[in-house]
Structure 1
Amino acid sequence: MNVSIIETSGLGDRSYLITHDDIAVVVDPQRDIDRVLSLAHDSKVRITHVLETHLHNDYVTGGLELSRTVDAEYVVPAGDDVRYARRAVSDGDIIDAGPIRLEVMHTPGHTHHHVSYVLRDDADEVLGVFTGGSMLFGTTGRTDLISPDDTEELTRAQFLSVRRLAAQLPPETPVYPTHGFGSFCSATPASGDESTIGEQRRDNPALTQDEQSFVEELLAGLSAYPSYYAHMGAINSEGPPPVDLTPPQPIDPTELRRRLEAGEWVVDLRNRTAFAAGHIRGTLGFELSGSFVSYFGWLYEWDAPVTLIGETPDQIADAKRELVRIGVDRLTGAAAGDMDELRDGSALGSYPVVDFTRLAHEREAKSVEVLDVRQNHEYGAEHIPDALNVPLHELPTRLHEVPSSTVWVHCASGYRSSIAASFLDRAGRDVVLVDDEFDNAVKLGLTVTDDGQGSD
């Protein structure tokens, strides 16, 4: 028996291909199913079953299309309201794929109907458990995605579900979660790249705390999550349309200018320092790197047409793959190449890029307006005195709160602040991007903690 991991690092998720002999089972596939099909082809296996642990809130599933493409049985938790044919499974059901057997365990918490799948061989030995958004590495799935009225109930259910997994499975059982590798579906950041039930008994707060302490700590730690989550459950319930990974239609500089003048979303994928050094005025800078799709989806005006600008066609293709995973399908054009050619004779926009050392020097010499675009809990823990805190995802509707003078914008690493700087620049504001680690601001003594004390 072999378990192959299919990473989707931009969303902090994993899918799995379980194989034995020439048979395969897939768990929680992402929408771009070509990765799964390629792995199955290379492994010389036939996919007979496609399993979902829950109706996903952070991505569009590829399960329905994959099951139809390979003529596999599609397995979805009973109780999830879907508009397509599937096998609805409940606690204790067995998925029999010949040499691969999976037992369904109802593990509510992340959602009401969430299930885990216990992998067994033909001798009934436990070989692993696929926990979806239940037991993660050193944490659990968040419990506030259904509704505020359900959050405490689901948090208590999550506590019991993780305890049930730990009680019923051997300590050496490998744990295979879907979320927890940077996903906003984690209640708190996960730790580690692999784990077992035994390790989780020592490390997971659902297994080291009493129920009330677990509930209070989880609820207190829940932070904001991307707004595009509101659309994912509905798309997955209706049945996602087939994925389209063909390149967006190329557009010329004249059409690019027309779209910018019309106020459309035109997104530059280049490195944030390259964008700052020279970009077509009116574009938004979303560097195509680790957090791209989460923050794009968080700020995106849902169903608005999107034009992509990149250095190469491959960069645009990579961005499209990321975006279709969260259902951004209105990619209406793209332009690749040198900015001098794409600008069509118009002047390029630019703004300075600095570090916290430069900010510290400026603050010594004069008053400086600082915008902190981290989330509220990050700001509350430690921040630069007098900095205005507007979390990135709130910035488009709170631009009027930002001072009209030059603003120095920062976050924890430079990624979120680079997006914020591009929004401010598009709005005609003078901006300085602080592209630096916040730890350096702490080391420089620029910050105060939540008790008002300065950092040493």
Structure 2
Amino acid sequence: MYIQQLYTGCISEAAYYIESEGEAAIIDPLRDTEQYIQLAKERKAKIKYIFETHFHADFVSGHLDLHKKTGAPIIYGPKTETNLPVHIASDGEIFQLGKISFEVLHTPGHTIESCCYLLKNESNKPHAIFTGDTLFVGDVGRPDLSSGDLSKEELASIMYDTIQNKILPLADDILVYPAHGAGSSCGKNLGPESFSTIAEEKQNNYALQKQSKEDFIKKVTEDLEEAPKYFSINAQINKDGYDSLEKLKKNALVPLNIKTFKDKIDQDAMILDTRPGNIFTAGFVPGSIFIGLEGRFAEWAGSILPFNKSIILVTEIGKEEETVVRLARVGFDKIEGYLDGSFEAWQNAGEPIDMIIDIEVDELAMDIKHDKNLQVVDVRRETEFAEGHVKDAINLPLSDMTDVMTLAAFEEDQNLYLYCGSGYRSIIASSLFKKQGIHNIRTVIGGWNAIKEEKKIKTLKDVSALN
């Protein structure tokens, strides 16, 4: 028996490769499926099953492409509703893989069709459980993402029964392999580890403690931040189907000369610049939206960019395909090419450029003292803002900045100083302000992390300006 977790950090997603006697199964694959095919080839195994734990909302699954390439059936749990060519398993159904087997456990709560796959070893002893978004390390799947007309309270009630009847009876030594780790928006507060055991979860997971159903529902549903806007779109894509990644890449990986690039801008294509933040701020094509590959790229792209508009890319040379694949993971399929020669070609041709001023924390402290038109904008989440922020700062979470009217509320003569946690989100926010014609923008290098450090420096004259 062989198990490999294939973890993708930028979306906190775990897919799994399981193998026995030359037969392999893939659980919750990403859209870029070549990694699974290559792994099976290297290990001289054949992919026999594609197991899906539910209709994922935070990424587009690779189930269809992998099925077409391997012929392996796609397995979903009970209550699944789709017109795709899938096998809808019954609760307790067994799938043999070499000398090991998987038992389907219907575990609704996150969604109605959610299920877990209990892996039994060569001796038919339960060894591991692949829990999808039902059970995480330290958390359970949020109950407010899908499943039709059911309220989050109704799904949380169903989740309580799932925990009591399907999870808690499992043996303590069973390994827990979830579909997500820390940073995922599919739960409230996932732990830092990407796997666990049933014993550890019984001891440390708030949702597995002894409690009434009423208390459980309250704990699971309270303090839920708004789900990213693209979640419902991705869930529907996974349910209805999509074009192959190869077709998407063929249409997207087209080098555009400057004239063609400008023509597409005139046709209202959206410019997405994925270069590193410090390079972007030094110069970019006017009107570009920045989302750098170095951060939680796919998540912020899905949260900020519209899915119904054409996208043209500015990337570091050699990063074009990576950008397209990572966009495809969250359902973007209207990518129409990239600027040939990147930003340098644009600049060398004498085309107009824009830039964003980066400042150090000590400059922020000085300007706060002297600039009457200065307004500090904190683009972190409300919970982060509540834990500490610059005095008199406005909290405008980046996820709320897709509303044009929100950005238009700022005065033209205001000098806006933006910061986030470390500097990544504030550059995204700055590019959104710039696109709306607000140009008196500065971003604080290092964000709140740097601001907190500077508070300890005695030479900083206005530490009173920091909360």
How does the TM-score come out when normalised to structure 1?
0.92
1:386 is matched by which residue type in structure 2?
Answer: D
- Deviation digits for residues 144-201 of structure 1 (CA, Å, limit 9, x no counterpart): 1016852012223323323445432221111111122422112223321331111111
The more displaced of 121-130 and 369-378 is: 369-378
User: Residue 293 of structure 2 corresponds to which residue in structure 1?
Assistant: 288
CA drift at 1:33: 0.9
Distance 1:222 1:23 in 2: 41
1:300-311 to structure 2, matched below 5 A, reads 300-311=305-316
SS of alignment partner, residue 181 of structure 2: coil
Distance 1:443 1:216 in 2: 37
Q: Is 1:424 matched with 2:429?
A: no
The more displaced of 429-438 and 35-44 is: 429-438
1:139 is matched by which residue type in structure 2?
Answer: D
User: Residue 450 of structure 1 corresponds to which residue in structure 2?
Assistant: none
- Deviation digits for residues 393-436 of structure 1 (CA, Å, limit 9, x no counterpart): 22132111233222111112211111011111222221001232
SS of alignment partner, residue 318 of structure 1: helix
- Deviation digits for residues 99-152 of structure 1 (CA, Å, limit 9, x no counterpart): 231111111111012100100024211110000001101111111101685201
Distance 1:262 1:66 in 2: 35
Q: Is 1:325 matched with 2:329?
A: yes
1:349 counterpart (343, 346, 354): 354
Structure 2 unaligned spans of 5+: 457-463
Distance 1:189 1:411 in 2: 21
CA drift at 1:268: 1.1
CA contact under 8 A between 2:101 and 2:120: conserved in structure 1? yes
Distance 1:355 1:219 in 2: 40
Q: Is 1:199 matched with 2:203?
A: no
1:173-188 to structure 2, matched below 5 A, reads 173-188=174-189
The more displaced of 23-32 and 375-384 is: 375-384
SS of alignment partner, residue 396 of structure 1: coil
User: Residue 415 of structure 2 corresponds to which residue in structure 1?
Assistant: 406
1:277 is matched by which residue type in structure 2?
Answer: A
Distance 2:33 2:184 in 1: 20
SS of alignment partner, residue 15 of structure 1: strand
The more displaced of 182-191 and 1-10 is: 182-191
Hey, which bits of structure 1, 4+ residues long, moved more than 4 A?
Answer: 443-446, 453-456
1:269 counterpart (254, 266, 274): 274
User: Residue 49 of structure 2 corresponds to which residue in structure 1?
Assistant: 49
Q: Percent identity?
A: 26
Q: Check 1:338–1:57 CA distance in 2 against 1; reply closer, same or farther (3 A cut).
A: closer
User: Residue 139 of structure 1 corresponds to which residue in structure 2?
Assistant: 139
User: Residue 436 of structure 1 corresponds to which residue in structure 2?
Assistant: 446
1:250-269 to structure 2, matched below 5 A, reads 250-269=255-274
Distance 1:340 1:371 in 2: 31
- Deviation digits for residues 373-397 of structure 1 (CA, Å, limit 9, x no counterpart): 2223333343323222222122132
User: Residue 378 of structure 1 corresponds to which residue in structure 2?
Assistant: 384
User: Residue 209 of structure 2 corresponds to which residue in structure 1?
Assistant: 208
1:434 is matched by which residue type in structure 2?
Answer: V
User: Residue 387 of structure 1 corresponds to which residue in structure 2?
Assistant: 393
User: Residue 167 of structure 1 corresponds to which residue in structure 2?
Assistant: 168
Structure 1 unaligned spans of 5+: 447-452
Distance 1:145 1:81 in 2: 16
The more displaced of 347-356 and 131-140 is: 347-356
SS of alignment partner, residue 135 of structure 2: coil
1:295 is matched by which residue type in structure 2?
Answer: W
CA drift at 1:338: 5.1
CA contact under 8 A between 1:269 and 1:288: conserved in structure 2? yes
Q: Check 1:359–1:214 CA distance in 2 against 1; reply closer, same or farther (3 A cut).
A: farther
Distance 1:262 1:438 in 2: 39
User: Residue 320 of structure 2 corresponds to which residue in structure 1?
Assistant: 316
Q: Check 1:172–1:403 CA distance in 2 against 1; reply closer, same or farther (3 A cut).
A: farther
SS of alignment partner, residue 276 of structure 1: helix
Distance 1:163 1:385 in 2: 47
User: Residue 102 of structure 1 corresponds to which residue in structure 2?
Assistant: 102
User: Residue 127 of structure 1 corresponds to which residue in structure 2?
Assistant: 127
SS of alignment partner, residue 40 of structure 1: helix
CA contact under 8 A between 1:415 and 1:435: conserved in structure 2? no
1:415 is matched by which residue type in structure 2?
Answer: Y
Distance 1:387 1:49 in 2: 53
CA contact under 8 A between 1:311 and 1:336: conserved in structure 2? no
Q: Check 1:218–1:438 CA distance in 2 against 1; reply closer, same or farther (3 A cut).
A: farther
User: Residue 86 of structure 1 corresponds to which residue in structure 2?
Assistant: 86
The more displaced of 387-396 and 318-327 is: 387-396
CA drift at 1:7: 1.8
Distance 1:380 1:115 in 2: 36
2:396 is matched by which residue type in structure 1?
Answer: V
CA contact under 8 A between 1:11 and 1:294: conserved in structure 2? yes
SS of alignment partner, residue 361 of structure 1: helix
User: Residue 14 of structure 1 corresponds to which residue in structure 2?
Assistant: 14
Distance 2:41 2:235 in 1: 30
Q: Check 1:331–1:375 CA distance in 2 against 1; reply closer, same or farther (3 A cut).
A: same
Distance 1:334 1:297 in 2: 19
TM-align CA RMSD:
2.2
Q: Check 1:23–1:196 CA distance in 2 against 1; reply closer, same or farther (3 A cut).
A: same
- Deviation digits for residues 38-93 of structure 1 (CA, Å, limit 9, x no counterpart): 11111110111111111111111111221232111221112121112221113211
Q: Check 1:455–1:105 CA distance in 2 against 1; reply closer, same or farther (3 A cut).
A: farther
CA contact under 8 A between 2:23 and 2:97: conserved in structure 1? yes
The more displaced of 153-162 and 402-411 is: 153-162
1:203 is matched by which residue type in structure 2?
Answer: N
SS of alignment partner, residue 11 of structure 2: coil
Distance 2:343 2:419 in 1: 26
User: Residue 225 of structure 2 corresponds to which residue in structure 1?
Assistant: 223
Distance 1:53 1:214 in 2: 23
